[in-house]
Amino acid sequence: MRPHRTATVAVVIGTYPYKALDESCRVFDELKKTESSLTLHLFGDDSFVPPAIRARIDVVMKGNRPRSEVIAGLRRAKYYISTTSSRIRTTRRVRESLR
């Protein structure tokens, strides 16, 4: 297996609301304080990404990509950020059970 070059990239996979992208951006901003050239690559449905995040010049919207491209992006990335919110999923389950 060939070694992969690490890029100054942080990756977030998934853009659904329970992924808490605002929290992911806060983590990214903290990382960027020590690594100013860092960029954030978001894999997933662009329509779920808030306009303020989409408009950032340090964010690259990758969209829905084949699994192989996502894996390749992860292998090259220096950071993988995951801030999934269980509260949102629990709230959704409660709402669904009340129907």
Which CATH entry fits the domain spanning 7-98: 1.10.3470, 3.40.720, 3.40.50, 2.60.40? 3.40.50
Average pLDDT over residues 61-88: 90
In the sheet that holds 59-63, the strands lie side by side as 59-63, 39-43, 7-13, 77-80
| Domain chopping of the chain, boundaries | 7-98
Listed residue (27, 35, 33, 29) closest to 6, CA to CA: 35
Which stretch of DSSP H or E encloses residue 87?
helix 86-98
Q: Which of 13-22, 28-37, 48-57, 86-95 has the lowest mean pLDDT?
A: 86-95
Q: Which of 11-15, 45-49, 81-85 has the lowest mean pLDDT?
A: 81-85
If one counts every other C-beta atom within 10 angstroms of the C-beta of residue 33, the result is 8
**How far, CA to CA in Å, does 7 sit from each of 13, 22, 26, 77?**
17, 23, 20, 5
pTM of the predicted structure, to 2 decimals: 0.80
Average pLDDT over residues 5-9: 82
Confidence at residue 85, expressed as pLDDT on a 0 to 100 scale: 74
